[in-house]
Amino acid sequence: MFSQASTLQSPSGATLALRHEPARGAARGILLISHGLAEHSARYADFAARMASEGFHVHTHDHRGHGLTTAPDAPRGQFAPKNGISKVVADMRAVRDHAAARHPGLPVVLFGHSMGGLLALAFAEAHPGAIDALAVWNSNLAPGLSGRVAQAVLAVERMLKGSDVPSGVLPRLTFAAWGRSIANRRTDFDWLSHDPAEVDAYVADPDCGFDVNVSMWIDIFAVTFAGAAGQGLSRLPGRLPVHLAGGEEDPATDYGRAIHAFARRLKKSRLEDVTTTVYRGMRHETLKESRHLREPAVDAFAGWCRLVAGERTRAPEHA
């Protein structure tokens, strides 16, 4: 069952907590899910069940420093002391290869939420032949000057206290600031969703909302700027279908403006098939929004997945 994680050994040295929801009926493809910061893969059970009903074998895992995944160099809140993103991408490659071996010949769609979207883009740039479509939801790939300021702050923190301790500043510049932006908020995490039950579940989950180390914050901003840079984007196949989504009420993406900005950058980088939707009334977690908001977004994504899977069969990889 999806809620019961199995394990997969990664070449990076991590023991990955892996979850799988098998396709129901005739299989159309494989969907890989990359979760966000300070959460875990079990939160995607409903989404996985829906996509399985659409004919997709769903595979997801807990990233390093999250959930049930373990690694000698990755305590909670840290990818790794060095080469963190490279190790995260190696873990993602291990999951992709595991899924492709179990379901040979099926097209592979990679979906990432928030931080998971940043990592999904990094994976697509590192292994452009390994996937057939990419979905990046609720991710800020246009952090601009505020992102550079955050990097400077993190450099000072690393110099003063090291990188293997929680940042004292970044949570205030991100989670706390986003929480304060919600008028008449009931909790500090109302910026995630309009649905009180989903917000309460996040707050009550011991594997959500935890502090992350300075090194992880440094890795996140580094991969953000590298992923959106021209050199990285030039590695993406021009015909790779890309699905971007976000919310107009999401402070983490500058109220959707970062989604549109990244879409423009993709199109300037010769990407031919970019689908972009910024939903009115949505906050940060599209998949955890109130049902009347969430369901149309998931319906649209399922339709896009059916379309791109129908157009592609898995060809031999060249990169």
Per-residue pLDDT tens over the stretch 289-312: 999 999 999 999 999 999 999 866
Residue length of the chain? 319
Q: Decide the pairing of beta strands 29-34 and 15-21.
A: unpaired
Strand partners, 32: 59, 110
| Structural domains of the chain, ranges and CATH numbers in brackets | 6-311 (3.40.50.1820)
Q: What's the confidence (pLDDT) of residue 5?
A: 83
Residue 237 exposed, middle or buried by CB count within 10 Å (0-12, 13-18, 19+): middle
Q: What's the confidence (pLDDT) of residue 310?
A: 87
Verdict on whether the full-model pTM lies above 0.85? yes
- For the chain, the distance separating the N- and C-terminal CA atoms, rounded to the nearest angstrom, is 33
Between CA 167 and CA 170 the distance in angstroms is 6
For a pLDDT cut of 70, what percent of the chain falls above it?
A: 96
Distances (CA, A) of 174 to 10, 147, 226, 248: 31, 11, 20, 17
Q: Decide the pairing of beta strands 6-9 and 29-34.
A: unpaired
Between CA 220 and CA 252 the distance in angstroms is 14
Q: What's the confidence (pLDDT) of residue 4?
A: 73
Contact 125, 103 (CB under 8 A): no
Q: Decide the pairing of beta strands 108-113 and 133-137.
A: parallel
Which tokens is 110 given?
């990679």
Which tokens is 280 given?
């009115």
| SS3 assignment, position 218 | helix
Beta strands in the chain (DSSP E): 6-9, 15-21, 29-34, 56-61, 108-113, 133-137, 242-247, 274-279
Residues with pLDDT less than 70, the chain:
1-3, 311-319
Which tokens is 80 given?
């790794």
Which positions ≥6 away from 76 have C-beta within 8 Å? 65, 66, 210
Q: What's the confidence (pLDDT) of residue 103?
A: 96
Q: What's the confidence (pLDDT) of residue 161?
A: 95
